[in-house]
Amino acid sequence: MEANKILSSDLLDLVFEGRNKEYGAYELRRRYNKRITLALIITGSVALLALIGSIIASELKPSDDGKLEIKEVTLQKVEQQEEPKELPPPPPPKPPDPPKIEMKQFTPPKIVKDEEVQEPPPAQEELKEAKIDVVSQEGIKDEGIVAPAVIDDGKGVVEEKKVEDENKIFEKVEIEASFKGGEGAWRKFLERNLNGNTPVDNGAAEGTYTVYIQFVVSKDGSISDIKPLTNHGFGMEQEAMRVIKKAPSWTPAVQNGRSVNAYRKQPITFQVTGE
């Protein structure tokens, strides 16, 4: 480019001096400012149209005068119902008082003068059908009337105390039956009277055999109802029962302060060893 044209030439012409301006880059750069201006105009127009549209829509929307309706909400009070309490049953009615028994006063006779006698004793015929007491009382004849059950102040009828069967055999007692002389004397009795060779004589194999014998010590101390609880055989149970039958009387078991019948279990061990 000539020197006198440099100052008056455009920067773009200086850059593309001597280059192919028909390629397209020259034309794109030349029109760059126009494209930017056109894009800004289009964008502004679209934004202006959107703003105008929103204003028109707000004008066409029905107005509620800016008032907001507020409704008062009241919560219902919830009360928990209490479960009805079960009342205790009424106390049983008080039984009627037992009828009064006819009684005749009779005290040991005292010898005094006739004029000093204040109340003569009842006749013997009257005493036959009346109950004798220290005071006289009118009432019905005593024909074995049973007294009523005792009431425990509304807590219930007190049952009559049942008497245990005198022949009952206890398995557990407060004080166990014992051999007279103690356990040591009982052990010596068994050792002296038992035939330890019984299983050997009957062909038992080597080993240790423990038999259990149950018997009853009666309330009078005697022994009865002897029976084996094991079955090892070879005559061991029979030998143990034979010796227990020979035992003298025992001291009986005690329950509730009285002698009772009670079970007793006795283990006896036989040992068979090789020669």
Share of the chain above pLDDT 70, in %: 57
| C-alpha–C-alpha distance, residues 118 and 127, integer Å | 19
Which amino acid, 118?
A: Q
Computed over every residue of the chain, the mean pLDDT equals 76
In this predicted model, what pLDDT tens digit does every residue of 243-269 receive, in sequence order?
A: 999 999 999 999 998 999 999 999 999
| C-alpha–C-alpha distance, residues 174 and 257, integer Å | 9
Residue 83 lies in a domain: no
In this predicted model, what pLDDT tens digit does every residue of 196-240 receive, in sequence order?
A: 889 888 888 888 999 999 999 999 999 999 999 999 899 999 999
Residue 194 lies in a domain: yes
Structure tokens at 186: 């009982």
Structure tokens at 65: 């005068």
What is the model's pTM?
A: 0.42
Residue 192 lies in a domain: yes
Going by C-alpha positions, the residue among 213, 211, 252 that lies closest to residue 233 is: 211
| C-alpha–C-alpha distance, residues 196 and 209, integer Å | 11
Same domain, residue pair 258 and 175? yes
CATH code of residue 182 = 3.30.2420
Check: CB of residue 223 under 8 Å from CB of residue 240.
no
| C-alpha–C-alpha distance, residues 257 and 22, integer Å | 138
Last residue of a domain, one of 137, 162, 187: 162
In this predicted model, what pLDDT tens digit does every residue of 76-134 receive, in sequence order?
A: 555 556 667 777 788 888 777 777 766 666 555 566 666 666 666 666 666 555 565 65
pLDDT at 60 over 60: yes
Structure tokens at 10: 């455009």
In this predicted model, what pLDDT tens digit does every residue of 103-113 receive, in sequence order?
A: 666 555 566 66
Q: What is the pLDDT of residue 147?
A: 46
Check: CB of residue 251 under 8 Å from CB of residue 188.
no
| C-alpha–C-alpha distance, residues 255 and 174, integer Å | 5
Written as one string, the DSSP assignment of 78-132 is: P-PPPPPPPPPPPPPPPPPPPPPBPEEE--------GGG-SSPPPPHHHHHHSEE
Same domain, residue pair 175 and 227? yes
Same domain, residue pair 198 and 235? yes
Same domain, residue pair 102 and 149? yes
Share of the chain above pLDDT 90, in %: 34
Identify the band that residue 64 occupies on the pLDDT scale cut at 50, 70 and 90.
Answer: low
Q: What is the pLDDT of residue 218?
A: 93
| C-alpha–C-alpha distance, residues 59 and 76, integer Å | 43
Structure tokens at 213: 């014998």
Q: What is the pLDDT of residue 242?
A: 94
Same domain, residue pair 151 and 173? no
| C-alpha–C-alpha distance, residues 111 and 64, integer Å | 129
pLDDT at 157 over 60: no
Residue 127 lies in a domain: yes
pLDDT at 3 over 80: no
Residue 90 lies in a domain: no
| C-alpha–C-alpha distance, residues 198 and 238, integer Å | 10
Residue 207 lies in a domain: yes
Number of domains in the chain: 3
Q: Which residues contact 157 (CB under 8 A, 6 or more apart)?
A: 92, 149, 150, 151
Structure tokens at 163: 């008497």
**Higher-confidence position of 64 and 229:** 229
Residue 17 lies in a domain: yes
Tell me which of 20-29, 46-55, 57-66, 73-82 is least confident.
73-82
**Higher-confidence position of 180 and 138:** 180
Note down the domain range covering 109: 97-162
Same domain, residue pair 180 and 267? yes
Residue 3 lies in a domain: no
Q: What is the pLDDT of residue 117?
A: 60
